[in-house]
Structure 1
Amino acid sequence: MLKIEKLAGIDIGSNAIRLLVSNVITNKKNDKPSFKKSALVRVPIRLGADSFIKGEISEENKNRMVKAMEAFKLLMEVHGVTNYYACATSAMRDASNGEEVAKEILEKTSIKINIIDGKKEAAIIFSTDLSEIIEKDKSYLYVDVGGGSTEFTVFSKGKIINSKSFKLGTVRLLNYSKKDSQEIWDEIETWIKHNTKKLKKLSLIGSGGNINKIYKLSGKPIGKPLSLIFMKAHYEFLKQMTYEERISELDLNPDRADVIVPATSIYLNAMLWSGAKKIFVPKIGLADGIIKSLYNNNI
């Protein structure tokens, strides 16, 4: 007998806020559930521009968040969602009024926002099913680039070797001084080289909205990795275009057209420092991980 359950994940990031509604389909004949996306709504509220510059969420963006959560609540009701989990990452984590904003949103909308740390963020993303990509006898560096932070996880032969979250994300890079960003770049380079130096033929796995967009622009068949040569050339291609050209010629959203360049630099440097020659893009993210974790009662 077929059973269909609707679950939702709300990802409150530094560059945008997302609602993912998924159908979880189970069949007695097959113990393994299938997850089918029912709806995905993305709202370009750039909380990181507040948090990383002013240190707090502005009144304007707080009000926009309240409206977004009210809309998400109605959408979940219409879809018949039975359970949801909302989490906020780097921007609200670093904002001095992050907890206060979350409390006000709960009072006004009944949506509970969980402000999570980098380690939990990485664990939720990592809970997604990577079995179609991962080969148990090989090594990988998993890189999830967000607006406020980037999570790195090294794993080999199916086991996690080490993981760390760094305060280097696309929105931060747009606002950091060259000196501030260089210090973190140096930390990341040291960490990656130290944790991957003994691993041969390592590949990257990239997640996040920017690498998904890069993959789409590449025209590669689903499942095929992007090469280091392609990533180098694509980075130079993006850098040479103006912000306006990226919108008009590449059909990027305005809030994607600026951050895609620093995002590409993070993936590219991770490849160079780890010695990876290819990057797999499974098109997964925090919202997907929330759905899987909800189903498995892990959050």
Structure 2
Amino acid sequence: MITIKKYAAIDIGSNAMRLLITNIVEQKGKPTQFNKSSLVRVPIRLGQDAFTIGEISEENIARMVDAMKAFNLLMKVHKVEQYRACATSAMREAYNGNEIVALIKKKADIKIDIIDGKKEAAIIASSDLKQFINSDKTYLYVDVGGGSTEFSLFYEGKIVTSKSFKNGTVRLLNNMVSDIVWTEIEKWIKQTVAPYDDITLIGSGGNINKLFKMSEKNQSKPLSYVYVNSQFQKLSAMTYDERVAELGLNPDRADVIIPATRIYLNAMKWSGARQIYVPKIGLSDGIVKAMYFKKI
């Protein structure tokens, strides 16, 4: 006999908002299964407001409220038992972030937690990485968002350390990442991986997922540094319109994919990694698993 629970996670990022609804299948004597039931992505680029003018605009506040109302209705239709909504970099930095949280609670009846970079990295690490991580290897996990990038080092199947940096795709598009930040990331990565040999990257985020999909590889196979670099050169040589029309990229993906790829390439270069695995996991998956295992 099996028991099925329905949990939902709302990820309010700097480039987009996501609602993930997951079927949690429990069966005596067997590992719990987490099966995606539905994923809805809404491209509201909050970071464009937060990082340039310091607040979320009235237009995007209205769009957020509408999206949250829709998310609430979808959770009711799916009979979701438990949910958690987490907002990251853009909402952290917008001075009206807390006002928006109160407004959405009032208008859409959804409670939002604004989490810091450390908490974000910890939740992401709650994703079921064990199936992708061999205990005899060392991995640098890199999650690139619109406002920040989270790094976590795994050794012998366990997380050793995590760090969040204010270097994300929307910031890079707006020329808001200084050379100092890049230097800090390079220094942290090199010092962190120094005691270990043969580093492999694990990448998460919509952009690396798109790159992986374009490669048409099997999910269990990694991308090489050579392939990622060739894609970076190809994408950089194309205009925005060409990336949308010829590659079929979404309009809100066609610009951010280049700075995201740059971050992954630098992480590979500075860690010495020649390969990057791309499991379909991220903050939303981490939220669901952290709720289930009562880590948040």
TM-score, normalising length from structure 2?
0.98
Alignment partner, residue 204 of structure 1: 201
Alignment partner, residue 82 of structure 1: 81
Q: Measure how far apart 1:163 and its partner are.
A: 1.3
Matched, 1:128 2:166: no
- Paired with 2:155 and 2:37, the residues of 1 have a C-alpha distance of 34
Amino acid at match of 1:57: I
Q: Measure how far apart 1:218 and its partner are.
A: 0.7
From 289, 292, 296, the counterpart of 2:293: 296
Does the 8 Å contact 1:168/1:181 carry over to 2? no
Give 1:40-79 correspondences, 5 Å limit. Answer: 40-79=39-78
Alignment partner, residue 90 of structure 2: 91
- Paired with 1:123 and 1:283, the residues of 2 have a C-alpha distance of 17
Does the 8 Å contact 2:169/2:259 carry over to 1? yes
Provide, for residues 81-114 of structure 1, a one-character-per-residue CA deviation record: whole Å limited to 9, x for no partner: 0110000000000111111111111111110000
Secondary structure, counterpart of 1:143 in structure 2: strand
Once superposed, what is the RMSD of the aligned Cα atoms? 0.9
Give 1:103-114 correspondences, 5 Å limit. Answer: 103-114=102-113
Q: Measure how far apart 1:184 and its partner are.
A: 0.8
Amino acid at match of 1:108: K
Does the 8 Å contact 2:55/2:94 carry over to 1? yes
Could you list the runs of 5+ residues in structure 1 that have no partner in the other structure? Answer: none
Alignment partner, residue 223 of structure 1: 220
- Paired with 1:48 and 1:225, the residues of 2 have a C-alpha distance of 30
Secondary structure, counterpart of 1:256 in structure 2: coil
- Paired with 2:196 and 2:276, the residues of 1 have a C-alpha distance of 16
Give 1:220-299 correspondences, 5 Å limit. Answer: 220-299=217-296
Q: Measure how far apart 1:158 and its partner are.
A: 2.1
Provide, for residues 58-87 of structure 1, a one-character-per-residue CA deviation record: whole Å limited to 9, x for no partner: 111001000000000000000010110000
Does the 8 Å contact 1:15/1:44 carry over to 2? yes
- Paired with 1:105 and 1:222, the residues of 2 have a C-alpha distance of 37
Matched, 1:102 2:90: no
Amino acid at match of 1:209: G
- Paired with 2:25 and 2:159, the residues of 1 have a C-alpha distance of 29
Does the 8 Å contact 2:153/2:160 carry over to 1? yes
Does the 8 Å contact 1:232/1:268 carry over to 2? yes
Does the 8 Å contact 2:130/2:157 carry over to 1? no
Does the 8 Å contact 1:127/1:289 carry over to 2? yes
Provide, for residues 121-144 of structure 1, a one-character-per-residue CA deviation record: whole Å limited to 9, x for no partner: 111111111122211111111100
Q: Measure how far apart 1:161 and its partner are.
A: 2.5
- Paired with 2:178 and 2:217, the residues of 1 have a C-alpha distance of 32
Amino acid at match of 1:99: N
- Paired with 1:157 and 1:106, the residues of 2 have a C-alpha distance of 42
- Paired with 2:25 and 2:145, the residues of 1 have a C-alpha distance of 29
- Paired with 1:200 and 1:268, the residues of 2 have a C-alpha distance of 19
Alignment partner, residue 160 of structure 2: 161
TM-score, normalising length from structure 1?
0.97
The number of residue pairs the alignment matches comes to 296
Amino acid at match of 1:291: V
129-138 or 144-153, which moves further after superposition? 129-138
Amino acid at match of 2:104: I
- Paired with 2:128 and 2:41, the residues of 1 have a C-alpha distance of 22
Q: Measure how far apart 1:198 and its partner are.
A: 2.2
Alignment partner, residue 8 of structure 1: 8
Amino acid at match of 1:58: S
- Paired with 1:61 and 1:87, the residues of 2 have a C-alpha distance of 17
- Paired with 2:295 and 2:246, the residues of 1 have a C-alpha distance of 42
Provide, for residues 187-209 of structure 1, a one-character-per-residue CA deviation record: whole Å limited to 9, x for no partner: 10111111112211110000001
Does the 8 Å contact 1:173/1:181 carry over to 2? no
Does the 8 Å contact 1:9/1:19 carry over to 2? yes
Q: Measure how far apart 1:220 and its partner are.
A: 0.9
Amino acid at match of 1:200: D
Identity %: 61
- Paired with 1:204 and 1:279, the residues of 2 have a C-alpha distance of 4
Matched, 1:181 2:178: yes
